[in-house]
Amino acid sequence: MKVLIDIAREGKDARLRDILTNYRLLHIHPFNDRHLLHRRNPEYYTITQYAFRYCYKYWKAHPKLVVYNRIDHPIDRVPR
């Protein structure tokens, strides 16, 4: 996840930025949007949901702020 976020932060891939911050992929309906999930199972997460958890774990900020480079890297909690 760190590599994907770093690529998006550098501005190399605009599509990746859109995917990591997509509202529909973040807030999926468990019954109507099963086609967006792996094996159509709501227990699996989307890549956007993983990015959301990762950004809140290390930056304590919304992925939009992190991916669009509006917030600096955390000094004390640098992801490895």
Which tens digit of pLDDT belongs to each residue from 1-24? 999 999 999 999 999 999 999 998
| Structure token pair of residue 46 | 């989307």
Q: Which domain holds residue 31?
A: 2-67
Q: What is the pTM of this model?
A: 0.81
Residue 19 located in a structural domain: yes
Fill in the amino acid letter for 20. Answer: L
Tally the domains of the chain: 1
42 compared with 77, residue with greater pLDDT: 42
Residue 29 located in a structural domain: yes
Residue 36 located in a structural domain: yes
Query: What distance in Å separates the CA atoms of residue 44 and residue 58, rounded to the nearest whole number?
Result: 22
What does each C-alpha distance from 31 to 9, 24, 26, 44, 80 come to in angstroms?
Answer: 33, 14, 15, 13, 36
Residue 77 located in a structural domain: no
